[in-house]
Amino acid sequence: MIPIPTDLPLKVDLYSDTLTRPSDEMREVMAAAAVGDEQKGEDPSTNELLDLVKALLGKEEAVFLPSGTMCNEIAFAAHCRPGDEILLDEKSHALQYEGGGPAALAGALVRPLPGERGVFTARQLEGAIKPVSRYTPRTRLVSVEQPSVGAAGHCWTLPEIRDVTEAAHRHGLRTHLDGARLFNAVVATGTSAREFADGFDSAWIDLSKGLGAPFGGVLAGDREFITEAWRLKQRWGGAMRQSGIMAAAGTFALRHNIDRLAEDHENARVLADRLAASTRISVDPIEVETNIVLFDLVHTEMSAMELNERLIKEAGVRVSAFGPSTVRAVTHLDVSTPDILYAADAIAGILAA
């Protein structure tokens, strides 16, 4: 991450949708939240959040966790034994951006599948499952990220998900849904979160990205799975006390901020359309489905990192370097359409100069 110069406040921050700040209304709900001991199941605001997520995902039980990464890592450890194998797309967040957590925490091997824009097929899955043998790792879990953060927010279709989860279950595998931006996919496709989550043994949603809450994720599954997840939560130091202050923010986000994700998606398309006019930028606006725009720098010696540094210093705009010449910009509720137009012109202007 590029540090923010102290003498120039950022005008537009497109680094990530994790940067959203609680609104005044959300802060009021947090301040008024009824609280108790979450560890004992006595925090009413946390219980309200869990009931809401269970209904949205169609799952039996749920647990509130400090982060989405913790949701993934606890799920992997609950499903797998050390030496087991997890199959997922090669661009998956769990593989690329979670510090080797599956290996370090679950003792599991992660085997990447070369999907198309973050989506692998049931045929690829079945071809990767190892035969039962004392000599090989046991293929145990299939993880799907919806949408794929590494593929610019590309969404799996419901038939694609069903094909993969049905194939996995036919072979006795467990299934996990990484729903960090699940509601972006819901809004983009018109398919409900419950439908997407139906074929998965575990699923989670993040509250701190486009939904605008400052903290946390909720992991859901059947009662036996969540019992094991709670044991790992306790072991890894994640048990909380009066968590209702934070849970109330998540409940507010789920009740008020899902439909407005469409605004972020529209802003992302506006950004892509504007950038596509530059001869030094390669981007296909048609591929922008949610709130993530990936674009490549062409016909210039400037790197993605250098562009980011200059944007911060010269225009107060921050994006992120996603590769030597690849740049990522993420829209969110703290960014307006005028902000997007300003950022797009700043990017094009620096490259043109």
Q: How many CB atoms lie within 10 A of CB 320?
A: 17
Using DSSP, state whether 269 is helix, strand or coil.
helix
Q: Residue 317 corresponds to which amino acid? A: V
Q: Which of 288, 274, 293, 305 is nearest to 331 (CA)?
A: 293
Query: Is the previous residue joined to 147 through a cis bond, with omega within 30 degrees of 0?
Result: yes
In a domain, 161, yes or no: yes
Is 272 within 8 Å of 331 (Cβ atoms)? Answer: no
Same domain, 272 and 245: no
> What CATH number did the domain enclosing 140 receive?
3.40.640.10
Same domain, 83 and 129: yes
Tell whether pTM > 0.85: yes
Percent of the chain with pLDDT over 70: 98
Report, as an integer, the average pLDDT of 112-124.
97
Encode 275-333 in three state secondary structure: HHCCCCEECCHHHCCCCEEEEEECCCCCCHHHHHHHHHHHHCEECEECCCCEEEEECCC
DSSP state letter for 344: H
Is 122 within 8 Å of 159 (Cβ atoms)? Answer: no
Q: Which of 213, 236, 256 corresponds to the end of one domain?
A: 256
What band does 6 get if pLDDT is binned at 50, 70 and 90? very low
Same domain, 117 and 232: yes
Number of domains, the chain: 2
Same domain, 215 and 188: yes
In a domain, 1, yes or no: no
Tokens representing residue 177 in the block = 């849904």
Same domain, 105 and 249: yes
- What is the chain's mean pLDDT, rounded? 95
Q: Is the pLDDT of residue 84 over 90?
A: yes
Percentage helix, strand, coil for the chain under 3-state DSSP, each rounded to 5: 45, 15, 40
Q: Which of 203, 225, 256 corresponds to the end of one domain?
A: 256
Q: Is the pLDDT of residue 80 over 90?
A: yes
Same domain, 159 and 219: yes
Cα separation, 349 vs 353, in Å, equals 6
Same domain, 67 and 82: yes
Cα separation, 201 vs 283, in Å, equals 36
What band does 342 get if pLDDT is binned at 50, 70 and 90? very high
pLDDT in tens, 220-275: 999 999 999 999 999 998 889 999 999 999 999 999 999 999 999 999 999 999 99
Tokens representing residue 29 in the block = 């709900």
pLDDT for position 8: 56
Report, as an integer, the average pLDDT of 298-306.
95
What band does 9 get if pLDDT is binned at 50, 70 and 90? confident
Q: Which of 200, 226, 256 corresponds to the end of one domain?
A: 256
pLDDT for position 1: 46
Q: Which of 48, 70, 40 is nearest to 246 (CA)?
A: 48
Same domain, 241 and 330: no
What is the residue range of 313's domain?
12-20+260-352
pLDDT in tens, 21-56: 999 999 999 999 999 999 999 999 999 999 999 999
pLDDT for position 4: 47
Q: Is the pLDDT of residue 312 over 90?
A: yes
